[in-house]
Copies of this chain bind each other. A is one copy, B any other.
Amino acid sequence: METKTMNIKIEKAKTSKIDKVDFDNLAFGNVFTDHMLVCDYKNGSWNIPEIIPYQPISLDPSAKIFHYGQSIFEGMKAYKDENNDIWLFRPLDNCKRLNISAKRMAIPEIPEDYFMEGLTALLKLEKDWIPQTPGSSLYIRPFIFASGTGFHASPADEYKFIIAFAPSGAYFSGKVKVLIEEKYSRSANGGVGYAKAGGNYAGQFYPTQLALEKGYNQVIWTDDNTHEFIEEAGAMNIFVRINDTLVTAPTSDRILDGITRKSILKIAKDEGIAVEERKITVSEIVEAAKNGSLKEMFGAGTAAVISPISAFGFRDVDYDLPEIGDNYASLLKKRITDIQYNRAEDKFGWRVKV
């Protein structure tokens, strides 16, 4: 991908923080690089993005982000291969999804070239920050929020689009144990669940805390009406393997259309694995766990990659998943990460060189 003619001004940081970072012991998303991309929406249009040193943002106390949660984001990663070439995975899909979120949250859409050229320019500047330690990568966080002011509950007239980078290690450390939730819900029919809107995440914190206190790592959400259908987890779509068939819930206006999810579906089909996108009931999973036909469960997402689930809890009973040698999770994880890190042929055309 070539940086085109757009003139992205770069103001360089006076000093770099990179020497202070222990790249062998990265946590997730708490170390930030030296620069960020900033782009302001004012008077009805987006200004040309600029790159500036990573620095605090100053906002009026009445900025609508504080009051009305008008914010959206994306999560991506940049990967460095053995030749120090830098790769993105399906980045245009993130841009398109950001704009789907934007529309639902009454936020002006960001032009694709601002997103792609801004991201590329920032990546070139920060290339030394991309970790090469196995399992680590540069987590990319594009986000847009309402900076316009006023207490009237209506869309803001000004916004900020920012891209920031965090060299990161694994999202989950260790085994992932999930709780199937029946009381609290993540999203409504006709709501904003399919958008990566800030408020969707804050709404999950309290029920997730309750689950953590009981020894689980994540909540699996069910539909808010019957609580009988599996939807997704906090930051991952969910796959279950029943006998040799891989099943995942169809997307809807309550579920995020995950890029990892749809890539896994393609790769699995390519591997000759039987795949079903259909509604999954909780009782079906419990039954399958009891009769031994539930072979695997895993979460799929950019941050979590593919995270095998070791057990799920439902109505105070824990159901352990078997440890099987020939598992889909490892196979699919290897295939997707091999594409991401440029270790294998990219037969679907997903990889983009920076």
List chain B residues, Cβ under 8 A from A65: 65-66, 71, 198
Map CB proximity to B onto A197-233 as digits: 1 under 8 Å, 0 otherwise.
1111111111011000000000000001101000000
Contacts A/B (CB < 8 Å), 12 sampled: A28-B152, A30-B62, A67-B71, A67-B201, A69-B202, A71-B202, A103-B206, A105-B202, A105-B206, A153-B201, A186-B191, A192-B203
List chain B residues, Cβ under 8 A from A143: 66-67
A354 at the interface (CB under 8 A from B): no
Q: Which one of B54, B56, B106, B141 contacts A59 once the chains associate, using CB atoms below 8 Å?
A: B56
Q: Which one of B55, B70, B191 contacts A185 once the chains associate, using CB atoms below 8 Å?
A: B191
Q: Which one of B61, B70, B235 contacts A202 once the chains associate, using CB atoms below 8 Å?
A: B70
Q: Are B145 and A141 in contact (CB under 8 A)?
A: no
A162 at the interface (CB under 8 A from B): yes
Report how far A28 CA is from B197 CA in the complex, Å. Answer: 26
List chain B residues, Cβ under 8 A from A205: 68, 70, 105-106, 154-155
List chain B residues, Cβ under 8 A from A200: 69, 199
Report how far A328 CA is from B138 CA in the complex, Å. Answer: 61
Q: Are B187 and A191 in contact (CB under 8 A)?
A: yes
Report how far A164 CA is from B56 CA in the complex, Å. Answer: 22
List chain B residues, Cβ under 8 A from A192: 199, 202-203
Report how far A235 CA is from B152 CA in the complex, Å. Answer: 10
Map CB proximity to B onto A65-87 as digits: 1 under 8 Å, 0 otherwise.
11111110101000000000000
Report how far A166 CA is from B60 CA in the complex, Å. Answer: 13
Q: Are A57 and B54 in contact (CB under 8 A)?
A: no
Q: Which 3 A-B pairs have the closest CB atoms?
A: A199-B199, A29-B151, A69-B198
Report how far A37 CA is from B182 CA in the complex, Å. Answer: 40
Report how far A105 CA is from B143 CA in the complex, Å. Answer: 21
A325 at the interface (CB under 8 A from B): no
Q: Using a CB-CB cutoff of 8 Å, which residues 46-65 of chain A contact chain B?
A: 54-62, 65
Q: Using a CB-CB cutoff of 8 Å, which residues 219-268 of chain A contact chain B?
A: 224-225, 227, 234-235
A132 at the interface (CB under 8 A from B): no
List chain B residues, Cβ under 8 A from A168: 151
A3 at the interface (CB under 8 A from B): no
A23 at the interface (CB under 8 A from B): no
